Structure 1
Amino acid sequence: MGVDNNSISVSLEKLERFIAAALRRAGLPEADAATVAGLMAQADLQGSDGHGIIRLPQYIRRIRSGGINVRPDIRVVADMPGMAIVDGDNGMGHLVVSRATELAIDKARTQGAAWVGTRRSNHAGPASLYSAMPLRHDMVGIYFAVGNANHLPPWGGTDMLLSTNPISVGVPAGDEPPVVLDMATTVAAYGKVKAKAKRGEMMPEGWMIDREGRPLLDPTRSDEGFLMPIGGHKGYGLALIVGLLAGTLNGAAMGRDVVDFNKDHVTPTNTGQAMLVLNLAAFGPVGGFKEAVDRLVGDLRGSARMPGTDRIWIPGEQSHARRQRYRETGIPVSRGVAAELDQLARELEIPPLA
């Protein structure tokens, strides 16, 4: 395990073991703890550090406060050949969304396309974890979610009625890495704000403004303002649509009903997510599609660049590169997060991470 001035480096396996041990101690069955730990560690492995192990103390607080059901009865409550709704029974979001994604993949095998929504779920980590799952089956994954706290007002307003409401799309390729877009409908996801605060860093201008419209740069003062939508009013509109599809359509929380799980550790969040899976085989030869994606990726990457641009990146390429690098060098965990995890380990009476 290597160290530098601002972080320690931890192997993927050690990260998974620590998370699983903490979740088991908090009451999750062994298999469920392993599933959640694997997905959380994958978030850190790809560089989505605002959604990985940094969230563990928060999850444990909610579990201990009764805000999450550690033994949920995750079940299908609406079912047709090309769609379903999964009721998560207030279980860990990673378990609920994994179940919904697996069901969508299974349905898409015979139907060509399938939409599965969730209700009574919880925070499930970065969206790309789930849009990437269908890739292994030569399928496209499109994921929508309602964020777990409202940090976005309607365009021109100041009342927090919308969240970061992410969307992620995973598209298979051939020799190239898959194209995986993972974006919040705000300029930055709130998890990145939390990560900046943990590292003692300032936010770039453009992430947040205060209620007077002035730039807000200190992440520890995030309650004094709100996140900015991407593309101005267009991002506001997109956040609304994603919330309607992932939340309202499934009978999950949206708008004023969204529970801020950063502050409220007791109230069930009734989080909604949705997964759309498209089976490539239903559209034509799979190999031909992948070859076309590879050609397009090559054209984009090899296209003329602006002065000062070293490389044109494809969505998902940098995460792919981090996975490869971090598997060799270890996953960086900021010292502030590591100290909090050490405290959590003492409370749970489990071996420390570092």
Structure 2
Amino acid sequence: MANSTEEQKKFHVSATDAESFVKAVLRGNVMPDDNAAVVAKCLVAADLRGVDTHGVNRIPSYMARIREGLLDGKASPDIHQVDGKNGFGFVAASRAMIAACEMAKVYGIGMVSVKHSNDFGMGAWIAQQAIEEAGMMSLVFTNSSPAMPAWGSKEKLIGISPLACGAPGKDRPFILDMAPSVAARGKIYKALRREEKLPEGCMTVTIAIL
């Protein structure tokens, strides 16, 4: 049962207000308006979908990466091969999916790779973009740095490397967003922040990434 102090720490805001707040933070860190709108929409969409590990709570870590020079908030991707220019992965992924859908309209299939990019949050939103903007099915993949141990080991060796796919449906679209890990790193970090216990089976992942 939550105590009164914990209850006072919770703030309920509308999705519109949350999106406006995120855009303001990003613009305040010299991110172009159009790019800030893409990132804000994706982060709030993650929260609305219940994937709060990839939602607005990522903003502090993104801002830290900008301040440390690990992420270029001003970058806008090139479309030719899609060069993310070390900018936000949301923007590069969004433009890559637009380009892939345009190819598919002409050739029946479109495939785009992205280089020099960063985290793009949950993969579901990219598949959703293909459905909503082009009525197309899609597959989304990404590589990642070592974060998981191989079976029976304690050292980081394997990347999380999530994947997502989506397709239009008669009543509602089909979207699958998953990864081979036991749990998302964001869920472990969230448990640490809230001083919550991890469910059984997460310990091997915890040893590998903390």
Same-fold call, TM cutoff 0.5? yes
Corresponding residue number in structure 2 for 1:111: 107
2:141 aligned with 1:150, yes or no? no
* 1:1-354 equivalences in 2 (<5 Å): 5=7, 7-77=10-80, 85-136=81-132, 137-147=134-144, 149-175=145-171, 177-209=172-204, 222=206, 225-226=207-208
Q: Distance in 2 between matches of 1:154 and 1:76?
A: 36
Q: Distance in 2 between matches of 1:65 and 1:226?
A: 24
TM-score normalised per structure 2: 0.89
Letter in 2 for 1:150: P
Offset from partner CA, 1:271-307 (integer Å, 9 cap, x none): xxxxxxxxxxxxxxxxxxxxxxxxxxxxxxxxxxxxx
Corresponding residue number in structure 2 for 1:344: none
Contact 2:143 2:161 in 1 (8 A): yes
Letter in 2 for 1:97: A
Q: Distance in 1 between matches of 2:177 and 2:127?
A: 9
Shift of 1:7: 3.4
Shift of 1:150: 2.5
Offset from partner CA, 1:25-60 (integer Å, 9 cap, x none): 111122221221111111111111001111100000
3-state secondary structure, aligned to 2:82: strand
3-state secondary structure, aligned to 1:39: helix
Higher relative contact order (CA 8 A, sep 6+): 1
Task: Tell me how many residue pairs correspond in the alignment.
Answer: 203
Quote the RMSD (CA, aligned, Å): 2.0
Gap runs ≥5 in structure 2: 1-5
Contact 1:26 1:64 in 2 (8 A): no
Contact 1:49 1:195 in 2 (8 A): no
Letter in 2 for 1:31: D
3-state secondary structure, aligned to 2:92: helix
Contact 1:133 1:141 in 2 (8 A): no
3-state secondary structure, aligned to 1:7: coil
Contact 1:144 1:165 in 2 (8 A): yes
Q: Distance in 2 between matches of 1:226 and 1:107?
A: 40
Q: Distance in 2 between matches of 1:184 and 1:208?
A: 17
Q: Distance in 2 between matches of 1:73 and 1:182?
A: 26
Q: Distance in 1 between matches of 2:53 and 2:82?
A: 26
Shift of 1:73: 4.4
3-state secondary structure, aligned to 2:146: coil
Letter in 2 for 1:226: A
Corresponding residue number in structure 1 for 2:3: none
TM-score normalised per structure 1: 0.54
Contact 1:152 1:226 in 2 (8 A): yes
Q: Distance in 1 between matches of 2:149 and 2:77?
A: 32
3-state secondary structure, aligned to 1:91: coil
Q: Distance in 2 between matches of 1:164 and 1:67?
A: 20
3-state secondary structure, aligned to 1:143: strand
Shift of 1:71: 2.3
Q: Distance in 2 between matches of 1:135 and 1:40?
A: 18
Shift of 1:171: 1.7
3-state secondary structure, aligned to 1:97: helix
